[in-house]
A and B are shown apart, each in its own frame.
Chain A
Amino acid sequence: MKKKRLSPKVALVGNPNCGKTALFNALTGSRQKVANYAGVTVERKEGLFISPAGTKVKLVDLPGTYSLRARSPDEEVTRDVVLGKMEDEAVPDAIICVADATNLRLNLRLVLEMKKLGLPIILALNMMDEAEKLGMAVDASELSAALGVPVVPTIAIRKEGIQGLVNQIDRTLPIAEVEGLIPHHGACEWTEPSSHDLRDYHREVEAILAQAISKPARPHTATHRLDKLLLHPAAGLFILFALLFFVFQAVFSWAAWPMDLIDGGIGLLTEAINSLLPDGALKSLIVDGVIAGVGSVVIFLPQILVLFLFIQLLEDSGYMARAAFLLDKMMGGVGLHGRAFIPLLSSFACAVPGIMAARTIENRADRIATIMIAPLMTCSARLPVYTLIIAAFVPNQNVMGGWIGLPGLVMFGLYAAGILSALLVALLLKQTILKGAREPLLMELPAYRLPRPRNVALGLYDRAKAFLTRAGTTIFALMIIVWFLGTFPAAPLDATEPAINYSIAGMIGHALEPILAPIGFNWQIAMALVPGMAAREVAVGVLGTIYALSDSGDALQSSLASVLAQSWSLPTALSLLAWFVFAPQCMATLGVVKRELNSWLWPFIMFFFLTTLAYVASFATFRAATAFFGG
């Protein structure tokens, strides 16, 4: 290699569920950063550690895979990195293959395939504690002799064997450096294996296992017993739905007080700046543009973290694959893949991470169908709008024998409307433009494992960082644009209407009014929808500004609610609720769809069909409500 490398790079490769990420965390601790690979949106996780010999080693965690024949965007990354085909990414100096000791067959087949790459390989025999518990006796030196690669037993979650692994890295890397003088180390002999080759690999694996394993593992009886309940056609589905209900409750109730805290903090900051800066454009930019805008997004951090906490727990425990199993047939009824469940669940917090989670779906048509309906899951940004209108128009009384409050019931109905329409849209898409059979399920159901707090915490930390970075960059920029549109040109001195009325946003609102009049929207609503493009919840703030209120947060919502109750008719309010069920206007969502599918066509289609749905739903709601309640 021509380039002089100061710190060698080692890549982690292994099957899904082999404990690869836990090993990565054990090796690098918090010294890791998550970014994207150039051109694709697959996450690139890199960390650093110092080997006992004092070498600074860069460690890259590659997406889990069963083979180098890439089948999804994630697996393509793994293949391209180890083959040295990835842009801006040097070939690794060595590879650590991670294998679950209790499930060696599939893992070792991958190791044999990796050996063809001609790169130095170390096999980390992970989860050795579990193997012992299952009465398994595996001889690491026999395995090493049979495979022709160094084998190190590890227990990633307890840092045991990590020392042995880093010592082995020190032994392997100098060899790699010498060999590194020749381009590509050994010659790469990997070609895409045929089914015949794959059978040969399997025969080889069986022979190696017979040599290295003197006592096979007993079956996971605990997992089997749990599955008897959790995969039961009736009990299993009931538990799944109960669990989802609980997650929902938690997202809203656990996140309530930290959200109040952030809200209070934003309020204090606004006051401080209000008293520090003189009135003028700068102050308006900072207070109305940056703080109000970015603040209204950052406030959802607690909800997103609670949701991701559950997703992480469900994933780490092995339950997520069971959920996909349980729902596969039912979701198949509308043409969706069982794996679509995870992206759709995430979309209840925000469609952006939800759409990104759709990467695990290999087939493009299935993936597009999932992405297209993700925005129909009611994201948390729509909650402030729902809350405001419900507070203004829905009487707080109990129905159904006093058990359920009417506001809660309306809220539930709005969520249900989103889900039902998503299913209908999926069905329609799969019957028309995304026709075709579903891709096969073929998914391993891993043994249940207790999630490790450390891994969960590191995962959540990554999420929080990514979300705040986005708020600090994209949303920050959008908010400044929105503020600009809402502020300039300034109102004339003899203005009788609120200033926003004279601004560009105001002009857009007035221009839109004739189009939106048939669905009962006045110019104030039309105007609020414009900045709502950047972030839906901003619509509440804009309505507040327009109705000449200067409060923010809860104070604004309660007082604004009473103003709205007097100035809007009930059909208008219901129509706006219907509009927000489909809420087509979110630039972040459209942006991520463009990035994920690498095409402008799909965000365009998404915007068009969501707008149509919203308009039709609002029109129907407005007309029906007008006929029923009177205008």
Chain B
Amino acid sequence: MPKLQQKPVPLGSLHKGAKAEIVGLDETGIKTTLRKGELERRLIEMGLVEGTEVEILHEGFPKRDPIAVRAGTSTVALRRAEADAILVHKLSEPQR
């Protein structure tokens, strides 16, 4: 699949059906109860690590939050607020 753009965007900004590749994790600026560095480590432990292809499978209600993301063979649910710590290159836009 051709990459549509090269500028990384936060995963939390994508819509249902979008596919992307994780290019970086950056938890600075994310409001969280966790100590520094913890969110990043948890994301990696859940398989949300650089190089992984992800797809937004489902969106919650209301405000399309949280989201269910396919990452490899597993599906992970997370809130958009924390998904913003995951930087991705979009691979394909959702078909509308």
Q: Do A and B bind each other?
A: yes
Interface residues of A (CB under 8 A from B): 66-67, 69, 71, 102-106, 109, 193-195, 198-199, 202, 206, 216-217, 219, 223-224, 227-228, 231, 233-234, 237, 321, 324-326, 328-330, 338, 363, 365, 436-445
Chain A residues positioned under 8 Å from B34 (CB to CB): 439-440
Question: CA of A399 to CA of B59 in the docked complex: distance in angstroms?
Answer: 40
Chain A residues positioned under 8 Å from B61 (CB to CB): 233-234, 237, 326, 329-330
Question: CA of A223 to CA of B74 in the docked complex: distance in angstroms?
Answer: 11
A105–B73 CB distance below 8 A: yes
> Given A109-B45, A363-B33: A217 and B63 within 8 A (CB)?
no
A198–B72 CB distance below 8 A: no
B73–A198 CB distance below 8 A: no
B65–A69 CB distance below 8 A: no
Chain A residues positioned under 8 Å from B42 (CB to CB): 71, 440, 442
Chain B residues positioned under 8 Å from A324 (CB to CB): 77
Chain A residues positioned under 8 Å from B63 (CB to CB): 329
B74–A437 CB distance below 8 A: no
Question: CA of A437 to CA of B60 in the docked complex: distance in angstroms?
Answer: 19
- Chain B's interface size range is 35 or more
11 contacts between A and B (CB under 8 A): A103-B74, A195-B44, A219-B73, A227-B57, A237-B61, A325-B68, A328-B79, A365-B33, A439-B33, A439-B34, A440-B78
Please, which residue of chain A has its CB at the minimum distance from the CB of B62? A329
B78–A106 CB distance below 8 A: no
CB neighbors of A among B68-96 (8 A): 68, 70, 72-79, 82
Chain B residues positioned under 8 Å from A224 (CB to CB): 57
Question: CA of A438 to CA of B66 in the docked complex: distance in angstroms?
Answer: 13
Verify if B8 is at the interface (C-beta below 8 Å from A). no
B79–A199 CB distance below 8 A: no
A328–B76 CB distance below 8 A: no
Our pick among A216, A321, A329, A442 for the contact of B46 (Cβ within 8 Å) is: A442
Chain B residues positioned under 8 Å from A199 (CB to CB): 44, 49-50
Looking at the assembled complex, report how far the CB atom of B66 sits from the nearest CB atom of chain A, in whole angstroms: 5
Interface residues of B (CB under 8 A from A): 25, 31-34, 37, 39-47, 49-51, 57-66, 68, 70, 72-79, 82
Question: CA of A373 to CA of B14 in the docked complex: distance in angstroms?
Answer: 35
B45–A106 CB distance below 8 A: yes
Question: CA of A365 to CA of B32 in the docked complex: distance in angstroms?
Answer: 13
Chain A residues positioned under 8 Å from B77 (CB to CB): 321, 324-325, 328, 441-445
Chain A residues positioned under 8 Å from B43 (CB to CB): 442
A198–B45 CB distance below 8 A: yes
Our pick among A69, A104, A231, A365 for the contact of B73 (Cβ within 8 Å) is: A104
The CB with the most chain B CB atoms within 10 A, among A104, A194, A440, is that of A440
A106–B66 CB distance below 8 A: no
Looking at the assembled complex, report how far the CB atom of B68 sits from the nearest CB atom of chain A, in whole angstroms: 6
Chain A residues positioned under 8 Å from B47 (CB to CB): 105-106, 202
A438–B33 CB distance below 8 A: yes
The CB with the most chain B CB atoms within 10 A, among A66, A67, A326, A445, is that of A445
Chain A residues positioned under 8 Å from B51 (CB to CB): 206
B31–A198 CB distance below 8 A: no
Looking at the assembled complex, report how far the CB atom of A630 sits from the nearest CB atom of chain B, in whole angstroms: 46
Chain B residues positioned under 8 Å from A194 (CB to CB): 37, 41
> Given A103-B74, A227-B68, A325-B77: A440 and B39 within 8 A (CB)?
yes
Looking at the assembled complex, report how far the CB atom of A99 sits from the nearest CB atom of chain B, in whole angstroms: 12
Our pick among B66, B78, B82 for the contact of A329 (Cβ within 8 Å) is: B66
Chain B residues positioned under 8 Å from A195 (CB to CB): 25, 37, 40-41, 44
> Given A437-B33, A441-B82, A442-B76: A202 and B68 within 8 A (CB)?
no
Chain A residues positioned under 8 Å from B74 (CB to CB): 103, 105-106, 444
B60–A233 CB distance below 8 A: yes
Please, which residue of chain A has its CB at the minimum distance from the CB of B27? A195
B44–A198 CB distance below 8 A: yes
Looking at the assembled complex, report how far the CB atom of B18 sits from the nearest CB atom of chain A, in whole angstroms: 16
Our pick among A202, A223, A321, A440 for the contact of B82 (Cβ within 8 Å) is: A440
